[in-house]
Amino acid sequence: MSVSQSLNEPTSNLGFKRPTYLGYLAILRILVGYHFLTVAWMKVNSAFPQGKILVDDFAKTLAKDPLALHRIFILNVVTAHPAFFGHLVAYGELAIGLSFIFGCLVRVSASFAAFHNLNILLAIAWANGGPQLALNRLYIFMEIVFVLTSAGLALGVDGFLKRKFPNSWLF
């Protein structure tokens, strides 16, 4: 085959790989995972899972929650079961952090992380404002990007799993 013939063929036949920017997202994913892991580790190794700290945080800020339904849910459900939700938050953040760092099931964990950060944004960060509000907004945006781009494919277990299960939407 001559060079002129190979230049006229479609690029898919040449074996070129498509360039992606998932490596850059992998760096962001790992950094966000590290943040989740450090925050979760502090919560797991404190009295946070018992729920008193969670209820105290809500008592200070919940009146400024912008959504009435969310405020009612926090008051009637979360504060009624503080130990359950204290454990759920602490160990949920730990699981999200590990998932982001290892790149395993990132689409699923990023969906949970966006939901988690949205709840923090409404219940706590909205009232506190400043950096906490900005950080939660930024994390929600990045987590949505992680879901849409399958950020675990680069530098993660999801890349390996995608090769094993190419038709799965999880990776």
Q: What is the pLDDT of residues 81-138, one digit of tens each?
A: 999 999 999 999 999 999 999 999 999 999 999 999 999 999 999 998 899 999 999 9
- Domain total in the chain: 1
CA dist., res. 142 & res. 161, Å (int): 22
pLDDT for the residue numbered 34: 98
Which pLDDT belongs to residue 161? Answer: 94
30 falls within a domain: yes
pLDDT-derived band at 17, boundaries 50, 70, 90: low
Amino acid 149: pLDDT: 93
Q: Does residue 69 fall inside a structural domain?
A: yes
85 lies in a domain? Answer: yes
Give the burial string for 107-116 (b: 16+ CB within 10 Å, else e): bebbebbbeb
Q: What is the CA radius of gyration of the chain?
A: 21
pLDDT band at 22 (very low <50, low <70, confident <90, very high): confident
Does 136 fall in a domain? yes
Residue 6 placed within a domain = no
User: Domain containing 28: what range?
Assistant: 21-164
Establish if 125 belongs to a structural domain: yes
Residue 9 lies in a domain: no
Q: Quick one: average pLDDT of 1-10?
A: 46
| 11 inside domain | no
Side chain identity at 61, as an amino acid letter? T
